[in-house]
Amino acid sequence: MAQEMTVRAFEVEALAWLEANAERKPERGRFSWGDGDDGVVEIWSEHNPEADAVHLAASRAWRQRRFDAGFGWVDGPESLGGRGLASAHARAYAKLEARFAVPPQDWFKLGPVIGPILMAHADAGLQERYVPGLFRGDLVACELFSEPGAGSDLASANCNAVRDGSDWVLDGQKVWTSDANIADIGLVLARTDNDRRRHRGLSTFLIDMHDPAVEVRPLRQMTGGAAFNEVFLSELRVPDSHRIGEINEGWRVAVHTLMFERQLVAGGHGRGGVGIANGERLLELTRHFGLADDPLTRQELAKVVTAFRVAGYLNQRRDLPPDALIMAKLSLARNLSAVAGFVAGVLGPKLVADTGEWGTYAWTKFVLGAPGNHIAVGTDETIKNIIGERILGLPKEPVADRQ
């Protein structure tokens, strides 16, 4: 059986396949001030439709080749196209692939979120139709939860779903939706019972993002780019077979989805460009501006590097319950904001005036993008409540709806 393959034997097989299908990355030396592109420090990727189409095609082709060779979903069930191995094998493959220059897979980041949700809450027919495609790269998914009046208070979502025979008709607006502009399918949280309060009247549906009743508009951020979208659903007909979970039980599906997504976000400690998490780029920044020997600057830099290191250790632990991993999401938001504050202190006016000097104004998108991490996938306050209630066992926060 597949489960009996040792990790070492699997690594030998995987490495041989990677050597035959991809080029190794060149050895990266230490970060050198002034070398390469100084614009790699943005947090939120900006969209260019023409470039996106090219990059998406390359990423999809790699994902499909990898899946067909048995390395696309290493720890997934064989019945849905997975390899049937353990999570240790999947981690081993990820480490090996990181050595090779392969197309980025950010387009498909929600596949490992939506796929398990369908496996847990959808019927077998829907799983067979969509789950393999999410891991193979045939499908890009997005998550349609937040609304203009229901961000942190997601339970007050008002996107409406009305039963019409064997279909549901959805009307409403969603906001801050990543990848909606390229997505093939979307998981929607909608209100199916207006007489029930808050989370008790919500259901979830899987929708076709290419349906004419779905309109996607880019959202311009203060960074100047548009990494997110707003989505309008206008009398969108969705078959009841595409309802995920029981009617009015969508809150349970949404919470399960957010748990997976928070784990995904928590793993983003390497984002923001080369050398930030280990302090290389920040150290060279202080050296360039003559602050490497300043005791206060050195102390603040040490705090940033130490925080990233501790967060990295937390992400490596395998003995924590799923809820505990959201602590890494909270630390990521804090750490990126700490970097933003440190950089702003070093650069001063150079951060806001584009003089053309390498490594200065390029930090603007990072600094402006950092606050978004305190909101994404639940605000810091929401995460703290979860930590207090589910991990520490503290009393639940008083809410009128619970009385």
* Contacts of 111-116 spanning 24+ positions with Cβ under 8 A: 111/135, 111/139, 111/141, 112/260, 112/264, 113/141, 113/143, 113/257, 113/260, 113/261, 113/264, 114/141, 114/143, 114/185, 114/187, 114/257, 115/76, 116/260
Of the options 1.20.140.10, 3.40.50.2300, 3.40.50.300, 3.40.50.720, the CATH number for the domain spanning 267-402:
1.20.140.10
Q: Are 300 and 285 in contact (CB under 8 A)?
A: no
The secondary structure of residue 105, as a DSSP letter, is -
Euclidean distance between CA atoms 30 and 274, whole angstroms: 10
Give the pLDDT of residue 266: 59
- Whether the per-residue pLDDT at 1 is higher than 50: the answer is no
Q: How confident is the model at residue 402 (pLDDT cuts 50, 70, 90)?
A: very low
Query: Is the pLDDT at 271 greater than 50, yes or no?
Result: no
Domain with CATH 1.20.140.10 in the chain: 267-402
CATH of 141-248, one of 2.40.110.10, 2.60.120.10, 3.40.50.300, 3.20.20.70: 2.40.110.10
Query: Quick one: tokens of 324?
Result: 């505990």
Average pLDDT over residues 133-151: 92
Residue 48 in this model has a pLDDT that exceeds 80:
no
Task: Give residue 267's pLDDT band: very low, low, confident or very high (50, 70, 90).
Answer: low
- Checking if the pLDDT of 403 tops 50, the result is no
Query: Is 261 an active-site residue?
Result: yes
- In this prediction, residue 323 carries a pLDDT of 67
Which pTM does this prediction carry?
Answer: 0.85
Q: Per residue in 159-179, pLDDT tens?
A: 999 999 999 999 999 998 989
Q: d(Cα 400, Cα 115) in Å, to the nearest integer? A: 35
For residue 36, the model assigns a pLDDT of 81
Residue 174 DSSP SS3: strand
Closest CA to 314 of 266, 273, 256: 266
CATH 2.40.110.10 domain residues, the chain: 141-248
Give the chain's mean pLDDT.
88
**What would the pLDDT profile of 69-102 be if each residue is shown by its tens digit?**
999 999 999 999 999 999 999 999 999 999 999 9
Q: What is the C-alpha separation between 270 and 52, in angstroms, rounded?
A: 22
User: Lowest-confidence range among 41-50, 228-237, 325-334?
Assistant: 41-50
Q: Which of 143, 261, 284, 300 is catalytic?
A: 261
